[in-house]
């Protein structure tokens, strides 16, 4: 079997077992348009697909995925901002009620940032043009993790930095005027989650206690 056939057979299985059982669901999504209540920003990592992890149906979530589940700070420079454009569409056009950042354990993007901060090889070195500059936006997560505990190293530092990256993205969300306005009007909530798919665990950031709390 050719490798691409794995995907083609997956589509055939979807069509037979999923679409043919619920054709009206897809027709309604065309007729009435999408109306998701949740915008989920997750990592591009192949192991942490939010639709699978959260067991959602088509039309339930507006999914945005990038390296390290990162929300960049608000910028108006006339250039290209895919994540910012997706957030703008979700909040201003779809009127989602929740924006959820989902960071995760063993994140390659966060690990690359830490290596660079510690003087190691930049994942964007050589012919790379984009990854290093992108993960540099996470430097504050590394700094926050070490400020909390200067003795952190290895996996413990990575885990702490991954959680701090979620908090950093939450802070960056509030730099977008349209997000601040929606939150102030009571129309939008912002949440930060940390997923350890390898242990089957999910934590949610609690701003009142300033801790991540595990979902039971």
What are the residue boundaries of the structural domains of the chain, listed by start? 1-32, 34-214
Cβ–Cβ under 8 Å, residues 124 and 118? no
Give pLDDT, residue 24.
83
d(CA 153, CA 171): 25
Q: What number is the average pLDDT over the span 95-122?
A: 92
Element (H, E) at 86: helix 82-88
Number of H helices, E strands in the chain: 9, 6
Element (H, E) at 101: strand 98-104
Give pLDDT, residue 108.
95
Note the maximum CA span of the chain. 56
Per-residue pLDDT reduced to its tens digit, 168-206: 999 999 999 999 999 999 999 999 999 999 999 999 999
Instruction: Write down the pTM of the prediction.
Output: 0.91
Q: What number is the average pLDDT over the span 37-41?
A: 98
Beta-bridge mates of residue 73: none
pLDDT higher than 70, residue 95: yes
Q: 34-214 belongs to which CATH class?
A: alpha beta
End-to-end CA separation in angstroms for the chain: 42
d(CA 194, CA 86): 21
pLDDT higher than 60, residue 126: no
d(CA 50, CA 42): 7
């Amino acid at each position: 079997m050719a490798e691409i056939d794995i995907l083609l057979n997956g589509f055939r299985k979807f069509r037979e077992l999923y679409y043919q059982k619920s054709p009206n669901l897809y027709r309604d999504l065309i007729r009435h348009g999408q109306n998701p209540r949740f915008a989920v920003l997750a990592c591009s990592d192949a192991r942490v697909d939010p639709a699978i992890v959260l067991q959602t149906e088509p039309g339930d979530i507006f999914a945005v995925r990038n390296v390290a589940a990162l929300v960049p700070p608000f910028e108006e420079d006339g250039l290209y901002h895919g994540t910012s454009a997706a957030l703008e569409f979700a909040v201003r056009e779809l009127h989602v009620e929740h924006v959820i950042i989902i960071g995760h354990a063993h994140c390659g993007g966060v690990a690359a940032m830490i290596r660079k901060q510690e003087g190691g090889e930049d994942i964007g070195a050589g012919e790379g043009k984009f990854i290093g500059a992108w993960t540099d936006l996470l430097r504050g997560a590394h700094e926050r993790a070490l400020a909390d505990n200067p003795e952190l190293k290895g996996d413990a530092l990575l885990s702490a930095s991954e959680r701090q990256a979620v908090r950093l993205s939450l802070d960056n969300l509030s730099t977008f005027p349209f997000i601040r306005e929606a939150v102030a009007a009571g129309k939008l909530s912002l949440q930060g989650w940390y997923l350890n798919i390898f242990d089957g665990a999910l934590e949610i950031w609690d701003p009142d206690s300033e801790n991540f709390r595990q979902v039971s």
